[in-house]
Amino acid sequence: MIPGESIARIVPMPGVPDGVELVEVRSKHGGNSRLSFKSFDQGRLSFQGTEQDFVWLDEEPPADIYEECLTRTATTRGLILLTFTPLSGLSDVVLMFLPGGDIHEQQDEKSSRSVILATWDDVPHLDERAKEMLFASYMPFQRDARTKGIPALGSGAIYPVPESDIVIPDFALPPHWPRAYGMDVGWNRTAAIWGAFDRETSTSYLYSQHYRGEAEPVVHAEAVKSRGKWIPGAIDPASRGRSQSDGHQLLEMYQSMGLDLTPANNAVEAGIYDIWTLLSAGKLKVFASCADWISEYRMYRRDDKGRVVKKNDHLMDASRYLIGTGRDIAKCKPKPADEEESFASGGWMC
């Protein structure tokens, strides 16, 4: 891309056949511009001690090298470009660009980082036949990373089922499907996920979500009732032992506000196994509109000691309550007549 006559000097890389360490290019502004080439295996120290106007890191760098390159641009107000497929999952470098691991999360206005997501549909030289062959050859947990640029969690993922296998377009739910919701409570974040259950196919559909922090219980209660106050819920059993305001127990507080709530079974590993079984069998689907649920699903993982990472998992916990307890208490939608009358008479559309 650089005209040959503009290249003033090429410095070979010692010990690397045909390798290049430095290129000097004549600048139209006078003098020469310098292009330096390095590889990650040279280590962080080799990146020290210079000022750079622009750094391009091709493939994901180690975190220490990225930070060193960032420092090289401090005095020049330079730019850094990273181009890579996130096959290492939610690494330190990925999390610098994706707060919370969310590929769709908007960067803060003051942030100096931004993300451009490229899928293989943006690659003009791949035809549909080539995509089909490649997709079939990829390991299942790498498919979303390879095709959509979504970070792959690999063996660390709690639910290593491709997002593309479980996310479906929203559709109108049949009124005879029983419904319930799972609810995880707290001041920093209160989350709820609604499910509808097709008894004929034994398939569960997650179709709506509530996801809000730093709000009073009455705000959450109204949001829950707006989905249908007849729908029963399974709530985090720890709500019986913590308070959000004035020392009141949350379970009793929400019940007093008209929510039909049952303490959920909170056996973590058993609940994870139940959801994993449904996902593996294609018996758990989620509506595409549940964006926060999908974001949490992408980063729900174990650490290197096998423990569940307890961060940004409110909807994942709510899903365990829904599947573990909500399915047993689910109710069908009341008949079109007055809902209050239906409650009294037991008239349900089942």
Can you tell me whether residue 167 is helix, strand or coil?
Answer: strand
Can you tell me whether residue 117 is helix, strand or coil?
Answer: coil
Separation between Cα atoms, residue 44 and residue 66, nearest integer Å: 9
Q: Who's near 338: CB < 8 A, 6+ residues apart? A: none
Separation between Cα atoms, residue 259 and residue 230, nearest integer Å: 8
| Residue 180 near residue 329, CB atoms below 8 Å | yes
For residues 303-325, average pLDDT: 88
Q: Is 304 exposed, middle or buried (0-12, 13-18, 19+ CB in 10 A)?
A: exposed
To the query of whether residue 59 is one of the catalytic residues in this protein, the response is: yes
Separation between Cα atoms, residue 333 and residue 108, nearest integer Å: 41
pLDDT, tens digit (0-9, with 9 covering 90-100), for 83-135: 998 877 777 888 888 765 554 454 555 668 888 888 888 888 889 999 999 88
Of 203, 158, 163, the closest CA to residue 306 belongs to 158
Of 194, 190, 320, the closest CA to residue 244 belongs to 190
pLDDT of residue 155: 54
| % of the chain exceeding 90 in pLDDT | 55
Of 90, 68, 84, the closest CA to residue 301 belongs to 90
pLDDT of residue 270: 92
- DSSP letter string, 19-43: -EEEEEEE-TTSSEEEEE---GGG-
What's phi and psi for 225, nearest 5 deg? -65, -25
Separation between Cα atoms, residue 79 and residue 54, nearest integer Å: 5
Please tell me the least confidently modeled range out of 133-137, 138-142, 257-261.
Answer: 138-142
DSSP lists the bridge partners of residue 36 as 22
Q: How many helices (H) and strands (E) does the chain have?
A: 12, 12
Q: Which two structure tokens, joined as six digits, stand for 2?
A: 């650089």
Does residue 71 have a pLDDT over 90?
yes
Separation between Cα atoms, residue 168 and residue 204, nearest integer Å: 12
pLDDT band with cut points at 50, 70 and 90 for residue 198: very high
Domains and CATH numbers, the chain: 4-105 (no CATH), 166-345 (3.30.420.280)
92 versus 168: which is more confidently predicted? 168
> What's the one-letter identity of residue 53?
D
Name the active-site residue from 51, 59, 132, 222: 59
7-12 and 20-26 strand pairing: antiparallel
190-198 and 179-184 strand pairing: antiparallel
Count of other CB atoms within 10 angstroms of residue 70: 15
Please tell me the least confidently modeled range out of 143-147, 161-165, 217-221.
Answer: 143-147
Q: What is the mean pLDDT of the chain?
A: 86
Does residue 342 have a pLDDT over 50?
no
| Residue 249 near residue 235, CB atoms below 8 Å | no
Write down the pTM of the prediction: 0.62
pLDDT of residue 307: 81
Does residue 186 have a pLDDT over 60?
yes
Of 244, 170, 245, the closest CA to residue 209 belongs to 170
Of 286, 272, 281, 254, the closest CA to residue 323 belongs to 272
* Start-to-end CA span in the chain (Å): 68
pLDDT, tens digit (0-9, with 9 covering 90-100), for 260-295: 999 999 899 999 999 999 999 999 999 999 999 998
Please tell me the least confidently modeled range out of 27-36, 154-163, 236-245.
Answer: 236-245
Does residue 29 have a pLDDT over 80?
yes
- Interhelix angle 268-280/314-321, rounded to 10 degrees, is 80
